[in-house]
Chains A and B, each alone.
Chain A
């Protein structure tokens, strides 16, 4: 039975927000850090609380820590040693595994991310910017009262227009394929697979092979928490549009090329169902827009190229043990939208997202290492994920087509990783435990 009153809401719910802010904190005094945590814990809702009161709430807060952060809070070495290796090392140390090289390397990351000084994150989602400013004011006042707690950096989230549905700066509809956790009460949409065992996403529960992931000690920490991989990806919108113009030739050709890179039309309509022409109504229909497989429908990638983003990030029936590789995504877009037709303005804009999973090495790192950056995934030879792969202009992209496939050489980097961290998102009781630890 899932303890919905102890799991932070963000794991299983999505706030109806159009703005938000991530505040990255550093702790220079353990007692001050614990005072901050004790005070903010009251504002962190559980899944159950959010479900009961979503209509009244204006803002939602989540809190998570890096490994360094828990040490800075005063958690003892014995407890710290029970966290898995990859989490202890932190995302920046795993750069080579994750493909964070060249322009994507942690040395170039922004806002102090990857420096070892990020100790905690406070994640705020708000219904509007007025509420966001109010919450930020409240939080800054709290930080000011807590000795040695400093805001290292922050990032404001902004939904991009049109606001009727979630999409990124490139214009692709988002949030189409999310796993459902057994016992959460949510129903998977057709094609999203059966609900998965909670242990794939939440610590302390059996997972898909009936095991409980390596236990954290003391036991207060190991229940109802999870891990989050944070990624701040700048989207080079001007460069992307220029690429579509160059290789797509006509407006229809540009749309088709955009769809071939993603595996879906920008409306969300799956290429596998509409290989030649977009169908926005299908893209918007959750009962139909995720209902497909590849093995029989499109084994050679004539509709959905083998290296397309959706085929890499969720190979569905063409990969082994898919249920052990699923991840929950949260987050949003940041930066101003670049109007259609406008030249690139040099302003950073992109996606700042969290990948939630019970095992960073088995789920998130596998996806990055194998699905995203393995140049030979599906025997493709010299490709990486066209959107989130680590690109330097030397990779190609192949679009199967009869009689002869189309190969685009020198695919530019459409995104650059601007930062990331591994966080531990404790359950609510564990938050209180950490607020009292060592003090």
Chain B
């Protein structure tokens, strides 16, 4: 068993303190820059940015759009390898800020272009277009998109996992297995 495997024990809840800056030791290099570490809460980001004044209704409209898109095709976000996404609006000194927090299973930039393509292809107008400083050519310029995301990422200083390092696919497989066993036991009656 490799060191990485030994460390990633789902049965032992784990917490990780993360040094200032968000990296543990020398960060691994990804295609678009250094990669934030995998923690007991898997990979993730917390992107915070100021919204363009007066655009708040667009964000609520976007929420309804995403809800409908996922209802129409429950797997439409599958390529993002997600566990959870949270979108938050909050005030600082009278201005509205936006937080986009995601927990997912691949490192920061592995599937970046896929994410950009997904947003572009599904016609989901991303709320990012209503953030100050977001590149207008994001649909065709992945590096500019990545740059914006990286500049607005606020790394965690502490993360915790009750079932650490487990991927969404592994969880889904375990649940499917459980369901299969239930069916099997039913058939044995």
Contacts and interface: CB of A to CB of B under 8 A. Distances in A.
Partners in one complex: yes
Interface of A: 84-86, 94, 96-97, 209-211, 214, 320-321, 324, 361-362, 365-366, 369-370, 374-376, 379, 381-382, 394
B7 interface: no
B31 A97 contact: yes
B182 interface: no
Interface stretch (B93-101, B124-132, B139-147): B139-147
7 contacts: A85-B143, A97-B30, A211-B139, A320-B111, A321-B79, A324-B117, A381-B5
B120 interface: yes
A211 B28 CA distance: 31
Given A97-B31, A365-B31, A379-B169, A209 B79 contact: no
Q: Which 5 pairs show the lowest CB-CB distances between chains A and B?
A: A211-B140, A96-B29, A320-B79, A320-B114, A321-B117
Contact of A97 (B29, B79, B141): B29
Given A320-B118, A382-B4, 14 more contacts: A94-B29, A97-B31, A214-B141, A214-B143, A320-B117, A321-B113, A324-B113, A361-B31, A361-B143, A366-B113, A369-B110, A370-B111, A374-B110, A379-B173
B113 A382 contact: no
A369 B31 contact: yes
Given A209-B140, A362-B142, A369 B30 contact: yes
A361 B110 contact: no
B187 interface: no
Contacts of A381: 5
A376 B114 CA distance: 18
Nearest to A85: B143
Given A324-B117, A370-B110, A379 B167 contact: yes
Contacts of B2: 382, 394
A370 B31 CA distance: 10
Given A209-B117, A324-B117, A381-B5, A86 B31 contact: yes
A97 B31 CA distance: 6
Q: How large is the interface on B (under 10, 10 to 19, 20 to 34, 35 or more residues)?
A: 20 to 34
A361 B113 CA distance: 10
Interface in B89-119: 106, 110-111, 113-114, 117-118
A215 to B, nearest CB: 11
A379 B143 contact: no
Nearest to B29: A96
A30 to B, nearest CB: 30
B31 A366 contact: yes
Contacts of A209: 117, 120, 139-140
A370 B114 CA distance: 12
Interface string B1-27: 010110000000000000000000000
Contacts of B106: 374
A85 B110 CA distance: 17
A206 to B, nearest CB: 10
Contacts of B79: 320-321
Nearest to A368: B31
Contacts of B73: none
A84 B111 CA distance: 19
Contacts of B113: 321, 324, 362, 366
Interface in B164-183: 167, 169-170, 173
A48 B54 CA distance: 57
Nearest to B28: A96
Interface string B134-155: 0000011111000000000000
Contacts of A211: 139-141
Contacts of A214: 141, 143
A94 B32 CA distance: 11
A180 B38 CA distance: 39
Contacts of B117: 209, 320-321, 324
A426 B153 CA distance: 38
A213 to B, nearest CB: 9
Nearest to B26: A96
A375 B38 CA distance: 14
B32 A361 contact: yes
A86 B31 CA distance: 8
B24 to A, nearest CB: 16
A325 to B, nearest CB: 9
B50 to A, nearest CB: 27
A84 B28 CA distance: 21
Interface in B57-99: 79
Contacts of A321: 79, 113-114, 117
A209 B141 CA distance: 11
A211 B145 CA distance: 15
